Structure 1
Amino acid sequence: METKKIAIVGAGISGLLACKYTLSKGLHPIVFESQTGIGGVWTKTVETTKLQTPKPAYQFSDFPWPDSVTEDFPDGRQVLEYVESYAHRFDLIKHVKFGTRVLSIGYDGPPGEAMRSWSLWGGDGGPFGSGGKWKIRVQDCLSLETETYEVDFVILCVGRFSGVPNIPEFPPNRGQEAFHGEVIHSMDYAAMDYQAAREFVRGKRVVVVGLQKSALDIAMECSAVNGVERPCTVLYRTEHWIVPDYLPWGVPLVLLYLNRFSELLVHKPGEGFLLSLLATLLSPLRWAVSKFVESGIKRKLPLEKFGMVPKHSFLQQISSCLVSRLPEKFYDRVEEGSIILKKAPEFEFCKNGISIDGEVEPLNSDLVIFATGFRGEKKLINLFESQLFQDCLSGSPNSIVPLYSYWLKLNYVITSNQGMHSSSDSPTSSDWVLGKHCKLVHVRDTVPVAS
């Protein structure tokens, strides 16, 4: 019998797991990776970036962390070394085509009209439908030569923290073109080597736009280089619950949110009458747990002093996968004045820096760094030639959860997280989840893990 070929796009953690899993099933995986090494987001990190999830909860089930890594939150270099060790231990590297960018994915099979009428993917719900093959067109990043691979199955492991940067839009002549300084995205900063990044910000008045993990890490590095003489300004629109640790009042957060009982506390898409009734009856407990966590955070951090108490609940934030772990001594830097927190619901660029709505004087700056995330949906949609699959990825404008909580598997849907207890670059789910009835399946764990 012919060995089925599996195309895996991306050699990050999910891609390596998918590669190992398909090998265990006797399949032939081909992993396409545009970079020169494995590791995904961990190949290029800010120097001070550390793991967001405690080490015991972020490891391969069949490959524990080495004894040499003693910290609960290893740094980016240690995480990358761990992932590389895993790949070498299970001989996965030989299946990876490095420096190979996927340009497009096409499906050579029935027309779109016929596929739209299917009640089961492939016409029969089988993992390898007889109706067609996938065409993967790739480009060598050095020679720029292109090649097309024909495969039976495609697994997308491209992540959502890379690729297409999310840059705010501005009115004409009020964007970057009006500014006489430099403007970059956080991914450009992370791409620099550590010494080059330090020299790049040295002596500059830096404004970091954003209030999530990348913004906080970059602000810490800028403040360490320039001190109070050239303070780094963190410009944000909305306050967030940023946790100093995962032990509010000494209680592990996992016991409050990341377990099966916590699933009963929240309303879920498609839930039946009994589950809906139970979530309603338990709503006082849901509110109390959120307030318990919020009070623990406020006890440890001077949020009220600096006007950083969020108006929304902690439950709302953790359910949206927007909880970050605060860098150590962040508020010490705020206290000393090397980091300035400034709220700006609306702003524009001007010649000397940033003009904030409602303020007369501009915020003078030499460098603006957008730590505003990525357009994960754009990266995925652009891969597909067929409008049918682009529409599937776009989803409904009334979707309950954002795109990154969807997992597209082109024959099945699989959460490529098997063996990892949790992940910093995706919502977590226990083992592989297979969905046979849709081309696009919404897979949701009890509560998403913070990124």
Structure 2
Amino acid sequence: MGKKVAIIGAGASGLLACKYTLSKGFQPIVFESASTIGGVWTKTIETTKLQTPREVYQFSDFPWPSSVTEDFPNQHQVLDYIKSYAHHFDLLKHIKFNTEVCGIEYEGSSEDEMQARSLWGGSGEPFSSKGKWKFVVEDKQSLSTEIYVVDFVILCIGRFSDVPNIPEFPSNKGPEVFDGEVIHSMDYAAMDYDSARRFVRGKQVTVVGFQKSALDIAMECSNTNGLEHPCRVLYKTEHWNVPDYLPWGVPLACLYLNRFSELLVHKPGEGILLSLLATILSPLRWAFSKFVESYITKKLGLAKYGMVPKHSFLQEISSCLISTVPEKFYDRVQEGSIILKKSPSSFSFCQEGILVEGESSPVKTDLVILATGYRGDKKLKDIFVSPTFQDYIAGSPNATLPLYRPLQGMNNPCRRVDG
């Protein structure tokens, strides 16, 4: 019998992992807490579309159907594509739906021994002869628990779901003193489209944040309420959100998404030659960044709105923070149905709405939607019982892109790329 491999999550990455392990003769078990496959694509904002060109977001052995011609397919098209992939390769029979992994432990080695390891699994091999992984899994329908023992673990739980990042507020300055309602963008995305429109209709909405979810929700509020009830977007930092992937007619992939572009970036554990090459090519790296920045600034008219970021585009894309601007977003800003308001430091709540530090008058509002992201690091750490693996799994919180080490104590960081 083949080695047993536990895969957590049945989104695009989990399905890929399932198919790959099957091709290698292993026995995959996929644990999915939801009742269906698709991950973040199962519940999204109505206007959500793929942020990367269709050709880049494609299974190498399963092309998009000819019926999908859009460069940026919508949520339904993406979800149908993912489901078609799973059915085509008969992956559903390996998935346990409505099952939540409550804890993972490694049995067979002491904490001290694992901390002293300098190689993956203690030997540099994926399957250790000294121990196995024990899973405690809860059936969300029957609430019963079951224990599974496997040889290898693949985490495909994603960074952008489940554990919302909620800002912390001083006592008596949080949502509890606000007369209106406060939700996270995750709660908004969980509503069906009609319910979401009814929820914001006729309300003065303030969206906190300036990444993809914030921009999309602000556009939907603008579509629903127009100039009668403008949507305010409260943000701390301007971002290089892209209008399209063709700066000055050059595909962005040619600048940042190919093998040559990898040579421009310093990487953890790189040798002297790669380090020297990245240093020599630094002027080219700077030129690429300025080339894209000039296009975005001109295309969106950022200077007119005071929205030119102080950091470089290179820093933005290296942090995996690039998002696309909804079409005509800044047209809505110009007409007044979307109001941009900067909060350079902190904000708090009062009875009438939001208090921006340094201002005496509150931002009066009925509804606050916190598009403040997710705690992917917390989700990763909390799934492990052992403090040793909790430390191994999450990299430095000060890193540009959070990195984590592969399981079983490998010392060299490994970059995670979600599907």
Measured against the shorter chain, the TM-score band is over 0.9
CA–CA distance in structure 2, aligned partners of residues 119 and 228 of structure 1: 61
Matched, 1:302 2:301: yes
1:146 is aligned with what amino acid? T
State the distance in 1 between where 2:110 and 2:275 align.
Answer: 40
Partner Cα distance (2:266, 2:117) in 1: 30
Alignment of 1:376-387 (within 5 A): 376-387=376-387
Residue 442 (str. 1) matches residue 410 (str. 2): no
- What is the Cα deviation at residue 401 of structure 1? 4.0
Residue identity opposite 1:283 in structure 2: S
Residue 304 of structure 2 aligns to a residue in which SS?
A: coil
1:369 lines up with 2:358 in the alignment? no
CA distance in 2, matches of 1:311, 1:401: 16
1:406 to 358, 379, 404: 404
Matched, 1:315 2:342: no
Q: Is the contact made by 1:165 and 1:374 (CA closer than 8 Å) also made in structure 2?
A: yes
> What is the 5 A alignment of 1:266-277?
266-277=265-276
Distance, in Å, in 1 between the alignment partners of 2:262 and 2:176 is 48
Cα 1:9/1:244, change in 2 over 3 Å? same
Is residue 266–residue 275 contact of structure 2 (8 Å, CA) maintained in 1? yes
Given residue 198 of structure 1, which amino acid in structure 2 is its aligned partner? R
Q: State the match for 1:159 in structure 2.
A: 158
Structure 2 CA distance for aligned equivalents of residues 86 and 286 of structure 1: 37
Looking at structure 2, the residues matched to 91 and 264 of structure 1 have their Cα atoms a distance apart, in angstroms, of 38
1:388 and 1:407 map into 2 onto residues whose CA distance is 12
For the Cα contact (< 8 Å) 2:48–2:75, is it kept in 1?
yes
Name the CA distance, whole Å, in 2 between partners of 1:440 and 1:339. 48
The 3-state SS of whatever aligns with 2:81 is helix
- Secondary structure in 2 matching 1:217: helix
SS of 1:295's equivalent? helix
Matched residue type, 2:324: R
Q: Structure 1 395/267 Cα, relative in aligned 2: closer, same or farther at 3 Å?
A: closer
Q: Which amino acid aligns with 1:364?
A: K
Aligned counterparts, 1:44-443, within 5 A: 44-345=43-344, 346-396=346-396, 400-403=399-402, 405-406=403-404, 408=406, 410-411=407-408, 438-439=409-410, 441-443=412-414
Q: Per the alignment, do residues 99 and 441 of structure 1 end up closer, same or farther by CA in structure 2, a change over 3 Å counting?
A: farther
- CA shift for structure 1 position 45: 0.5
Structure 2: runs of 5 or more not aligned? none
TM-score normalised by length of structure 2:
0.96
- Once residues 45 and 351 of structure 2 are traced to their aligned partners in structure 1, the CA distance between those partners, rounded to angstroms, is 29
Percent identical: 69
Contact 1:406/1:441 (<8 A) preserved: no
Counterpart AA for 1:375: R
Q: Any conservation in 1 of the 2:231–2:339 contact (CA below 8 Å)?
A: yes
2:410 is aligned with what amino acid? K
Separation in 1, partners of 2:183, 2:275 = 46
**CA displacement at 1:407 relative to structure 2:** 5.7
Q: What residue is the counterpart of 1:25 in the other structure?
A: 24
Distance 1:296 1:169, change over 3 A: same
**TM-score, with normalisation over the residues of structure 1?**
0.89
Give 3-state SS (helix, strand or coil) of 1:54's partner: coil
Cα pair 1:393 1:440 within 8 Å, conserved: no
Distance 1:121 1:260 in 2: 26
Equivalent residues of 1:406, 1:440 under 8 A apart: no
Aligned residue identity for 1:406: Y
Q: Partner of 1:57: helix, strand, or coil?
A: coil
Question: Structure 1 234/392 Cα, relative in aligned 2: closer, same or farther at 3 Å?
Answer: same
Q: How big is the shift at 1:308? A: 0.5
Q: CA deviation at 1:8?
A: 0.6
Distance 1:242 1:104 in 2: 37
Give the CA deviation at 1:159: 0.3
Change (3 A) 1:223 1:197: same
Shift of 1:268: 2.7
Stretches of 4+ aligned residues off by more than 6 angstroms: none
The answer as to whether partners of 1:107 and 1:135 remain within 8 angstroms in 2 is yes
Q: Does structure 2 retain, via aligned residues, the 8 Å contact 1:232–1:339?
A: yes
Preserved CA contact (<8 Å) 2:380 2:394: no
3-state SS of paired residue (1:55): coil
- What is the alpha-carbon distance in structure 2 between the residues aligned to residue 107 and residue 182 of structure 1? 43
